[in-house]
Structure 1
Amino acid sequence: MKLSVIISTYNSEDWLRNVLTGYTVQTEQDFEIVIADDGSTEKTKSLIASFQGRFNYPIIHVWQKDAGFRKCRILNKAILQSQSDYLLFTDGDCIPRKDFVATHLKHKEAGYFLSGGYFKLPKSISEAITQEDIITQRCFTLSWLKRQGLAMNFKVTKLVHNTYFAAFMNWLTPTKRSWNGHNASGFKKDIIAINGFNELLTYGGEDREMGERLFNLGLLSKQIRYSAICVHLDHERGYVDYEKIKHNLEIRRYNSKHKITYIKHGLDKLKNNTFA
C-alpha cells in the first residue's frame, strides 16, 4: 500500500464517524487506516467495526487502557502496527477533504516531512455537519459554510480549491513548517531513526517535539497547509494542564540546544510488548 493514515482518538465517536466518512471518499484509495485509541470505551470499538469493509484494507484498531493523556504512547504503538513505509498522522476530530491523502502522496519526498494545518470550525457548525455533507464535500465550500453562519475573514482562503493559489500561499505563509499532529506525514524509517514520539511528554507541543528531532536528524520540511485540507471540529479539552505544557517546553528547549535526535522513552520500549 502507498500510505498508512494514523488517526488518534479518545471517546469521540460522533467526530470519529465523520472523520472516517471523509476517508471513504478519498480520490486515492490505496491506503490503510490505523486508529490510535488512547483508552476509549466499547462504543469506539463498535463504530470502527461498522466501517470495516469500506476501505481497501482492514482498519487496524490499536487500543490501550485509559490512564490519562498518553497520546505519544498510543501513536508509537500505532506506528509499530502500521504496514506502509509512509505515514500520515491526523486526529479523530479532523475531517479530510477528498484530495487529502493524494496531496500528501504528491508532495512526499525523501529527506523531508510534510507540514499541514487545519481550518477550525466553530462548535455550532461542527455539530451541524452530517455524513452527507462530507460525502458531497459541501462542508468544504465557502458558500455552504457561510450559510451555516461562518464569519468570513482571511483564514477562509485556506478553503479556496485552486492548485496555483495553494502553492503561492504555501510559499507566502509565515507559519513555521513544524510537525503538526493533526496533519503531517513522513517516512516511517525517519520516525524510527529518532525512536518515534517521546512518551515523557503529555499534551502541549508533543507532536512538534518529534518534528524538532527530525530537523536535528537533518530532515527538511515542506509547507502544505493550503494544499492538504482538513476541517477541525470544535470540542472541549479537559486534559489541558499548563504545568505539563511548561514541562514539555523545557524538554523541547533542551533537545533543541543539544541537537537531540534519539530519545529513550519511545518506540524501542514497546517493541517487545506492543500492547502494554
Structure 2
Amino acid sequence: MQKNISVVISTYNSPEWLKKVIWGYNTQTYRNFEMVIADDGSRKDTFDLIEEMKKEVFYPIIHVWHEDNGFQKSQILNKAILACTTDYIMMSDGDCIPRPDFVEQHIKFREEGYFLSGGYHKLPMDLSKNITKDDIYSGNCFDMEWLKKHGMKASFKNNKVDAIGLKSWFMNLLTPTTPSWNGHNASGWKKDIVAINGFDERMQYGGQDRELGERLVNYGIKPKQIRYSTVCLHLDHPRGYATPESINKNLNIRKETKEQKKKWTDFGIVKK
C-alpha cells in the first residue's frame, strides 16, 4: 500500500536514544507511514542500529546521511525532505519518543492551507536512560503515575502526557503558546515546504525550525495548535552545539524574514 505520511527523524550520534524512538513508532495506531532518518553525520554504530531495527519494525526506514561537518541539521533535513515519497511530512527528533497515537493525530488534524504545531514533554536524564523497550511497548512511559513513580516531578506541564479527547481540545484552546513549526513535533504538506525552499542552510542551532514556519506563514499557510493532542517524550541530553554565535546569527536571519515578510530562502533546497 502506498504510504501517505513521511515521518522525518533527525539524529546525530545518539543510537541509544534513536533506538527508543524507533521502538515508539513501532507502537503507532496509524501504520501507513514511512520513516526518513535525517542523519547529520553519525558514526557506524548508528548505521548498524538502523540496519538492525529495519528487521524489527513494521514500517520502511529510509536513511539519509551526509558527512559530519559540524551542526548542519538544516542541510540534512532538506535532503530528507527530497527523499520523502509522500505528499505529507511530519518532523520530529531522534530523542523524542512518540505516544502511540502520535501519527494518527497528525493525520486526523492535517488540512490544506495549514501546518500543525505539536507539543513535547521533557524527561529528566535518569528517567530518559531508564526507559526500556518494555516500558515503550506496554505504554507505561505515557502513564503519569508510572512517570511520577520513576522520578517525574509534579508540574502543570504533565497534563500534556495523557491529554486526549475533550481535555486536549480544551487545553489547545487555552494555551497561551503561539503555534510554530517545532523541530520536535510539526507537520505540513510537502508542496508547501518545497514552495518556500525548505530550511535556510545558513542556520545552525537555534530557531531554524521556527524560521521555516515563519516563511510558511508569510506564504499564506496558517499554523494549527495541537500542542495537547499529539505529544512526545523528549529524552534529555547535553547541547554542546548551542553556541551564542549560532543563536545570534539565527536571530538576525529570523528578524530579516519577519521584517521583509520573506517566503523564500536563497539558501535552501534549491541553491542560486
TM-score above 0.5, yes or no: yes
Tell me which of 234, 237, 245 is aligned to 2:236.
234
CA contact (8 A) 1:86 1:185 kept: yes
Give the deviation of 1:150 after TM superposition: 1.1
CA contact (8 A) 1:36 1:62 kept: yes
Structure 2 counterpart SS, 1:221: strand
Query: Normalised by the size of structure 2, how large is the TM-score?
Result: 0.97
Write the letter of the residue equivalent to 1:189: K
Aligned-pair Cα RMSD in Å = 1.1
Give aligned-pair identity as a percent.
54
Give the deviation of 1:161 after TM superposition: 3.5
CA contact (8 A) 1:72 1:201 kept: yes
CA contact (8 A) 2:9 2:37 kept: yes
The 5-angstrom pairing of residues 185-264 of structure 1 reads 185-264=187-266
1:148-198, CA deviations, whole angstroms, 9 ceiling, x for partnerless residues? 021111111112343100000001000110000100000000000000000
Query: Normalised by the size of structure 1, how large is the TM-score?
Result: 0.96
Aligned partner of 1:140 in structure 2 is 142
Name stretches of at least 5 consecutive residues in structure 2 with no aligned partner. none
Aligned partner of 1:116 in structure 2 is 118
Aligned partners of 1:18 and 1:133: how far apart in 2? 10
Tell me which of 98, 101, 108 is aligned to 2:100.
98
1:110-142, CA deviations, whole angstroms, 9 ceiling, x for partnerless residues? 000000120000111101100110000100111
Write the letter of the residue equivalent to 2:152: L
CA contact (8 A) 1:36 1:78 kept: yes
Name stretches of at least 5 consecutive residues in structure 1 with no aligned partner. 271-276
Structure 2 counterpart SS, 1:75: helix
Aligned partner of 1:66 in structure 2 is 68
CA contact (8 A) 2:31 2:59 kept: no
Aligned partners of 2:54 and 2:236: how far apart in 1? 26
Give the deviation of 1:229 after TM superposition: 1.0
CA contact (8 A) 1:31 1:56 kept: no
Aligned partners of 2:121 and 2:64: how far apart in 1? 27
- How many pairs align? 270
Aligned partner of 1:157 in structure 2 is 159
Aligned partners of 1:100 and 1:162: how far apart in 2? 11
Give the deviation of 1:56 after TM superposition: 4.6
1:222-266, CA deviations, whole angstroms, 9 ceiling, x for partnerless residues? 111101010000000110111210110011011111110111111
Give the deviation of 1:54 after TM superposition: 3.8
Aligned partner of 2:182 in structure 1 is 180
Aligned partners of 2:163 and 2:246: how far apart in 1? 38
Aligned partner of 1:274 in structure 2 is none
